[in-house]
Amino acid sequence: MNTSLTKKLAIYLLSGVAVILASFFIAVQMPGDALDNLLLRQEKVSVSSYDYEIKKIEMAHRMGIDKPLFYFRMSSLAETGYEIYFATETKKDNYSKLLRKYGNSKEVYLFARNCQYTDEVLSGLNKKYNSSAIEKFSGYLQFIQKNSASTNMDSVWTMTENDHSLTEFRPLTNMLKHSWEKLAEQPHSYRAYIPAISFSADNRFNDWFFGGPLSHGLIHLDLGTSFFTGEKITSLLKNKIAWSLGFSLTAILLAFSIGIPLAAWIVSKKNKTLDKFIRIFAATGYAMPVYLAGVILLFLFSNPDILNIFPSSGVKPIGMNDNVSIAGKLWASVPYLILPLICYTFSLLAFAVSTAGELLQNQMSLPYIVTARAKGLDEKTIVYKHALKNVLPPLISLLANIFPAIIGGSVIIETLFSIPGMGNEIVRACLSRNFPLLSAIILISGFATIVMYALVDIAVYRLDPRIKPSAA
């Protein structure tokens, strides 16, 4: 028993780690650049502004986005220890080429820092007065930052030194030239082809899990901040989890509490016509997509031209008074919940009835059932008191596999009926490319599934006495 329990715990632990890592990498490896979005929408900085790149680098450092992703990082010997964040892909590409060409990671790093310092100085000067000399030198600097790995730099230094309009920038030019000479004087290009593993405790995963500039950390139940609304994701999802979880658990409870007794009743009756009808119902439930069932329900029961019985969307009356009691709020919300709940339960009920029926039919030919019949027990007693007891453990085991499917189906149902749950929020997060929010939803859904698997295992262990001796 101890060995079996240890294996189960190890599987759950590894699954939890996998969910955490997947959520983290979705949050940080988002398409596009989050910094561009923040600068344009929050800071209201124009892309064409002179100091845009500098502001971008400053924001990246302030938010910790320029840190390595994880504790361990696979790189080359040339890069180890000198990981730098560059705001634009052209700069990243240029300095990567410099590392491969020369292999002097420290000198490449210092050259990059000197270029950045020069950029900051020019930005400061540009705020005081506008000069054609500043613009010309800025052009040289941008060329160096983008093309120094593939250009004859001696000719660049010669041009800047011979240009009399750039005399006032001679100290900056000398600093860059001296830094370049140190970079190029002893190339070790072979270092770029030697793999190396670097370790850094100051990384983005550490900040995301234990706390950093953007959040207090997952360990403190802080899921971060939405880059698009600035709202804390934990507070954003707090009420939405309740709606999604409430619908899912209610659907499971209804489907199995109705489906299992119904299947037992059909088997005990031995009615072939009834059995065929149930098989057709189950096949229809499997084949019909969730969105089609929802559309049919809305067409039949929320249509002024047919039957306008239930509301077509929402979960409560608009403008409900806060002074209404909880019982009053629940009663007023019931009409809004019936159609979504039927949509949630429909295919799940078909699954429960057909699966329970097949398992019970298999039990009816086993020796202990034959013995029960020989003792004179009626069919109803055999099914309900003997066969059903042996069918419950495998049926409960199926709950763990059903739960992820319900979460997936909630995306369609909640969108169709405008339910403010996590499924609806997934759609919004995908459409707005709000990847931190999407990763938080995946994290919550993943852990909810793991908890469901654990609860199902405990329930099966309690219900099936055959597990205990085999595990001991």
pLDDT tens, residue by residue, 360-387: 888 888 888 888 888 888 888 888 888 8
**Alpha helices, DSSP H, located in 270-387:** 272-287, 290-301, 326-363, 367-374, 379-381
8 Å CB contact between 53 and 167: no
| Predicted confidence (pLDDT) at residue 176 exceeds the cutoff of 90 | yes
Residue 96 pLDDT grade (very low, low, confident, very high; cuts 50, 70, 90): confident
Q: Could you tell me how far CA 203 lies from the centroid of its own chain?
A: 20
CA distance 165 to 132: 9
412-449 pLDDT, tens digit each: 888 888 888 888 888 888 777 778 888 888 888 888 88
The average pLDDT across 292-301 equals 86
* Run of H or E including 72: strand 72-76
Angle at 135 (CA atoms; ends 133, 138), nearest 5 degrees: 110
DSSP 441: H
* Residue ranges covered by each domain of the chain: 72-199, 238-471
Residue 153 pLDDT grade (very low, low, confident, very high; cuts 50, 70, 90): very high
Residue 178 pLDDT grade (very low, low, confident, very high; cuts 50, 70, 90): very high
Residue 127 pLDDT grade (very low, low, confident, very high; cuts 50, 70, 90): low
Which residue type, as a one-letter code, is found at position 27? A
CA distances 287 to 111, 284, 298, 348, Å, are 64, 5, 19, 12
Helix and strand element counts for the chain (H, E): 19, 2
| Predicted confidence (pLDDT) at residue 234 exceeds the cutoff of 80 | yes
How many Cβ atoms are within 10 Å of 397's Cβ, its own excluded? 15
* Run of H or E including 75: strand 72-76
200-223 pLDDT, tens digit each: 788 888 888 888 877 888 888 888
CA distance 378 to 151: 94
| Predicted confidence (pLDDT) at residue 87 exceeds the cutoff of 70 | no
How many Cβ atoms are within 10 Å of 150's Cβ, its own excluded? 10
Q: Which residue has the tokens 């990763």?
A: 439
Per-residue pLDDT at 426: 84
Query: Helices 89-102 and 170-185: crossing angle, nearest 10°?
Result: 50
Per-residue pLDDT at 173: 92
Classify burial at 199, counting beta carbons within 10 Å of its beta carbon; exposed 0-12, middle 13-18, buried 19 or more. Answer: exposed
| Predicted confidence (pLDDT) at residue 255 exceeds the cutoff of 50 | yes
CA distance 324 to 377: 55
CATH number for the region 238-471 comes to 1.10.3720.10
| Predicted confidence (pLDDT) at residue 450 exceeds the cutoff of 60 | yes
The average pLDDT across 179-192 equals 86
Higher confidence at residue 350 or residue 80? 350
8 Å CB contact between 438 and 22: no
Per-residue pLDDT at 364: 83
Per-residue pLDDT at 372: 83
CA distance 97 to 288: 55
Predicted TM-score (pTM) of this structure = 0.71
8 Å CB contact between 266 and 274: yes
Residue 174 pLDDT grade (very low, low, confident, very high; cuts 50, 70, 90): very high
The average pLDDT across 288-296 equals 83
Per-residue pLDDT at 30: 61
Give the SS3 label for residue 197: strand
Q: Could you tell me how far CA 341 lies from the centroid of its own chain?
A: 26
Higher confidence at residue 333 or residue 118? 118
Per-residue pLDDT at 472: 40
How many Cβ atoms are within 10 Å of 373's Cβ, its own excluded? 13
Per-residue pLDDT at 354: 84
| Predicted confidence (pLDDT) at residue 1 exceeds the cutoff of 50 | no
Residue 45 pLDDT grade (very low, low, confident, very high; cuts 50, 70, 90): low
Higher confidence at residue 457 or residue 62? 457
Query: Helices 290-301 and 326-363: crossing angle, nearest 10°?
Result: 130
Per-residue pLDDT at 470: 45
CA distance 149 to 99: 9
What SS3 string covers 393-424? HHHHHHHHHHHHHHHHHHHHHHHHCCCCCHHH
Which residue type, as a one-letter code, is found at position 356? A
CA distance 126 to 134: 7
The average pLDDT across 129-139 equals 80
| Predicted confidence (pLDDT) at residue 170 exceeds the cutoff of 80 | yes
DSSP 164: G
Higher confidence at residue 408 or residue 295? 295
CA distance 110 to 113: 5
Q: What is the mean pLDDT of the chain?
A: 80
**Alpha helices, DSSP H, located in 224-325:** 233-269, 272-287, 290-301
Q: Which residue has the tokens 């169709």?
A: 416
343-362 pLDDT, tens digit each: 888 888 888 888 888 888 88
Least-confidence region, from 6-10, 166-170, 463-467: 463-467
DSSP 83: -
| Predicted confidence (pLDDT) at residue 285 exceeds the cutoff of 80 | no
Per-residue pLDDT at 177: 93
The average pLDDT across 148-168 equals 89
| Predicted confidence (pLDDT) at residue 471 exceeds the cutoff of 50 | no
Instruction: From 201, 187, 188, select the one nearest 77 (Cα to Cα).
Output: 188
Higher confidence at residue 88 or residue 7? 7
* Run of H or E including 141: helix 132-147
- The contacts of residue 79 (CB under 8 Å, 6+ apart) are 99, 105, 192, 196, 198
| Predicted confidence (pLDDT) at residue 411 exceeds the cutoff of 80 | yes
| Predicted confidence (pLDDT) at residue 128 exceeds the cutoff of 60 | no
Residue 27, φ and ψ in degrees, nearest 5 = -65, -40
Least-confidence region, from 12-21, 407-416, 446-455: 407-416
CA distance 20 to 447: 9
| Predicted confidence (pLDDT) at residue 123 exceeds the cutoff of 80 | no
